[in-house]
Amino acid sequence: MDYITPNTLQDALELMDQDGYRALATGLSQSRFGGALDGSLRALVSLRKVPGLNGVTQSPSEVRVGPSVRYVDLMEHPAIRAIPLLNEALSEIGEPHVRNHGSLGGALQSGGLADAPVLAALMALDAEVILAGRTGPVQQSVQSFSRGGLRVGLPAGRLAVEVVIPVGQWTSCRYLPLERTQGLGPVSGIALALCEANALVGDVRLVVAGFTEQPVRLTTVEAALTGKPLTADSIRQASAAIVSDIESANGETVPNAYSLHLITVLIRRVLLASQSATATS
C-alpha cells in the first residue's frame, strides 16, 4: 500500500478519482479505518501538505473551520470559544491522541464514537460541509453523514475542505455528557440548540451521541417540543417520543431498554437545565 502526500488540492482530487485511493485526514490513523483496510485499498493520500485546510475564519453569521485544524487548537481559538456547544463538546474528548491529533476532517471521514460529541454538536448547530471535487464544490449538511445512527461516508471522489458553522440564531446551546465512572473512552451525551420566542420553543435541535455508531438527531422529540412552553410536563411528554427516533442503541453490548432509559434521562436533564438558565437570565 502506497502513502502519497500531494502538495495541492487539485493533485489530491485527481488521486481520489482512482480506485483504491483513500484520503488520510489529519488525526485519522490507519487503525481507525476499520474494515477499509482490505485488499481494495491501494494507497493512502495524506492531506497534511495541502494548503488552505488548516485555518479558522469568522464573520457575524458564521465560523468556517478547515478540516485539518486539530481539536486541541480549536479549543483555544476565540471563535470556537464563542460557540459554547461546540466548545463543551470538544472538552469531552478525553483520549489524548484524539484530542491532540483529531480534526473535523477526520471526524467526517471516519465517524464513530471517538468523535461523537463533536459530530453531535455540529449536527445540532446545523453545520454544513463544503466538499471539493473535480466537477466543483458542493455543500452538504453534517446531518447527512448519519442515517439511523449509521455512518454515511463521503461521496466518492470528494474531499471535505471546510466546515461552515452558523452562529447567533440560538438562545440556548449546550452539550451535556453522561457521567463517566472511569477511563478516557468515548463519551455518551446530548447536544441541544434551542430558540425560544414569547416563552415558546420556536426551534430546537436535539442530537444524542455515543449510543449508536453515529450521533442521531431526535426529530420526533423536537417536534413534540416545538410551539410549546418549556415546562416539566412538556419535557416529560416529549422525552417519551424517544422510541420513535432510536429503535436500537448499543444493542450488542448494553440492553436496548437501558440505553433508551439513559437517553431519556439526558433529554430531561439538558432541557431542564436550559429551562433554568432561561428563567434566571
Least confident of 155-164, 195-204, 216-225, 251-260: 251-260
Please state the φ and ψ torsions of residue 70, each to the nearest 5 degrees: -70, 150
> What is the rounded distance in angstroms from the CA atom of residue 150 to the CA atom of residue 159?
20
End of a domain among 101, 136, 166?
A: 166
Q: Verify that 129 and 226 share a domain, yes or no.
A: no
The verdict on 106 and 154 lying in the same domain is yes
Is pLDDT above 50 for 40?
yes
Q: Has residue 269 got a pLDDT over 70?
A: yes
Same domain for 194 and 89, yes or no, is no
Per-residue pLDDT at 186: 55
- Name the residue type at position 61: S
* Residues in Cβ contact with 6 at an 8 Å cutoff, skipping those fewer than 6 apart: 12, 15, 45, 46, 47, 49, 50
**Whether residue 211 is found in the same domain as residue 155:** no
CA atoms within 13 A on the CB side of 153: 10
Tell whether 264 is covered by a domain.
yes
Is 281's pLDDT higher than 90?
no
Any domain includes 41: no
What is the domain extent for residue 83?
50-166
The CA distance from 161 to 183, in Å, is: 33
End-to-end CA distance of the chain: 57
Same domain, 160 and 179: no
Q: What percent of the chain has pLDDT over 90?
A: 55
Same domain, 185 and 241: yes
Last residue of a domain, one of 144, 166, 188: 166
Q: Is residue 103 part of a domain?
A: yes
Q: How many CA atoms lie within 13 A of 4 on its CB side?
A: 21
Confidence label for 11 from pLDDT (cuts 50, 70 and 90): very high
- C-alpha cell recorded at residue 108: 467526517
168-214: per-residue pLDDT in tens? 889 999 999 987 655 555 579 999 999 998 889 999 999 999 988 89
Q: Place 34 in a pLDDT band, splitting at 50, 70 and 90.
A: very low
Are both 177 and 267 inside the same structural domain? yes
48-90: pLDDT as tens digits: 889 999 999 999 999 999 999 999 999 999 999 999 999 999 9
For residue 249, what pLDDT band results from cuts at 50, 70 and 90? low
Q: Residue 16's pLDDT is what? A: 85
- Say how many domains are in the chain: 2
pLDDT higher than threshold 80 for residue 27? no
pLDDT tens-digit map of 92-109: 988 888 889 889 998 998
Q: What integer pLDDT is reported at residue 148 of this predicted model? A: 84
Q: Is residue 6, in this structure, part of any structural domain at all?
A: no
pTM: 0.89
Do residues 136 and 229 both lie within one domain?
Answer: no
Chain-wide mean pLDDT for the chain? Answer: 86
pLDDT computed for residue 185 by the predictor: 53
User: What are the φ and ψ backbone dihedral angles of 51, each rounded to 5 degrees?
Assistant: -75, 155
List the one residue out of 247, 227, 223, 236 whose CA is nearest residue 271.
Answer: 236
Answer with the one of 166, 200, 227 that is the final residue of a domain. Answer: 166
* pLDDT number for residue 35: 44
Answer yes or no: do 157 and 245 share one domain: no
What does the pLDDT read at residue 123?
97
What pLDDT does residue 242 have? 86
CA distance 263 to 176: 11
Q: Which three cell numbers stand for residue 71?
A: 481539536
Q: Give the pLDDT confidence score for residue 44 in this predicted structure.
A: 86
pLDDT in tens, 228-248: 999 999 999 999 888 778 766
Residue 36 contacts by C-beta under 8 Å, 6 or more apart in sequence? 22
Is 188 inside any structural domain?
yes
Residue 28: per-residue pLDDT = 52
Looking at the fold, whether 253 and 209 belong to one and the same domain comes out as: yes
Backbone torsion region of residue 231, taken as left when φ is above 0, otherwise alpha when ψ lies between -120 and 50, otherwise beta: beta
Question: What CATH number does residue 275 fall under?
Answer: 3.30.390.50
Residue 255, pLDDT above cutoff 80: no
